[in-house]
Amino acid sequence: MVRDGSLVVVVTGLSGAGRSTALRVLEDLSFDCIDNLPTPLIEPAVSLHAGGGAALRMGVGIDVRGHRSLSGAGRALEALRAAGHRVTVIFLDASDETVIRRYSESRRPHPLAAAHPTEDLAALIARERESLADLRGRADRVIDTTSLTVHDLRRMLIEHFTLTEGMTLRMTTRVLSFGFKYGVPSDADIVFDARFLPNPHFVPGLRPRSGRDADVAAFVLDSTEGGEFVDALERLLAPLLPRYAREGKVALTVAVGCTGGRHRSVAIAEALGARLAQGRAPGDVRVAHRDIDRGG
């Protein structure tokens, strides 16, 4: 049974025009995606996914790699519609010169090169256009990526699904504490240094505990410097996070470090994460502590 709201987005178009980027956007919008499936298997695969409890959101990539079954693409789309699915076809195009330049930069062979080894890239692109002509004619939207960057295309697609389907891309903000003595986290997008704050490490009763402990947190946060630091971080990040989300960023890591990653950075990360979670950040906020158990 197909549930109300079932949506299948077919992404197709020229190789090198941005199909992989488009499928990644769909994944970030919580679509289940499959790529390069022979067209006779598309309807059975979608039907299998539709057996779940939630309304189906599925992305299907069709390109010239499946050229032997491309003639059946139209029948596959009609079969999906006959089964009750809403189907949207997005065709990604680009000028021949742009596609040739992108292939030159990526140094990857065209997918038809093995089948037509004597043809140059321009001839392969022309052959590809001919093979995809029927799908282009069926497209609900054709996007020319000639003058678009990867980020431009990503923003365009997110805006498209926000406007047409009411979907939103939820960014996860991770507030991560760490110890500088163990190195700055390689996945940190923004890094703050809390080593100027009063250090519980030198207070005998607090040293064995962590920044999650109420007494340690109070020692750090009730100090003038600690309170001002959290206030300043909140004021800085509150207007920035929605802008990161608007650019299509799926995950943002805000790292706060102290010497050992056990006391000050933990207390600051917990306080900052709690404030951002109170409507100051779009999407989800998570707090993690990389080095809390490493002895400080």
pLDDT tens, position by position, 173-185: 999 999 999 999 9
| AA letter at 104 | S
Q: What is the pLDDT of residue 243?
A: 87
Q: What is the pLDDT of residue 279?
A: 80
SS3 letters across the chain? CCCCCCEEEEEEECCCCCHHHHHHHHHHCCCEEEECCCHHHHHHHHHHHCCCCCCCEEEEEECHHHHHHHHHHHHHHHHHHHCCCEEEEEEEECCHHHHHHHHHHHCCCCCCCCCCCCCCHHHHHHHHHHHCHHHHHHCCEEEECCCCCHHHHHHHHHHHHHHHHCCCCCCEEEEEEEEHHHCCCCCCCEEEECCCCCCHHHCCCCCCCCCCCHHHHHHHHCCHHHHHHHHHHHHHHHHHHHHHHHCCCCEEEEEEEECCCCCHHHHHHHHHHHHHHHHHCCCEEEEEECCCCCCC
Q: What is the pLDDT of residue 166?
A: 76
pLDDT tens digit sequence for 194-242: 999 999 999 999 999 999 999 999 999 999 999 999 999 999 999 999 8
Instruction: Write down the pTM of the prediction.
Output: 0.71
Give yes or no for a contact between 106 and 15, defined as CB atoms under 8 angstroms apart: no
Q: Please identify, in words, the CATH class of the domain defined by 7-165.
A: alpha beta
Strand order across the beta sheet in which 141-144 lies: 32-35, 57-62, 7-13, 86-93, 141-144
Q: How far is it, in rounded angstroms, from Cα 216 to Cα 246?
A: 37
Residues of the chain predicted below pLDDT 70: 1-5, 51-55, 66-68, 295-296
Q: What is the pLDDT of residue 220?
A: 97
Q: What is the pLDDT of residue 1?
A: 46
| Nearest of 294, 224, 226, 227 to residue 264 by alpha carbon | 226
CA 49 to chain centre: 22
- Tokens representing residue 18 in the block: 């941005």
Q: How many other CB atoms sit within 10 Å of the CB of residue 238?
A: 14
Q: How far is it, in rounded angstroms, from Cα 278 to Cα 267?
A: 17
Spell out the domain ranges in the chain. 7-165, 172-289
b/e map of 50-72 (b: 16 or more CB within 10 Å)?
beeeeebbbbbbbbbebeeebee
Backbone angles phi, psi at 61, to 5 degrees: -95, 125
**Residue 7: beta bridge partners?**
57, 86
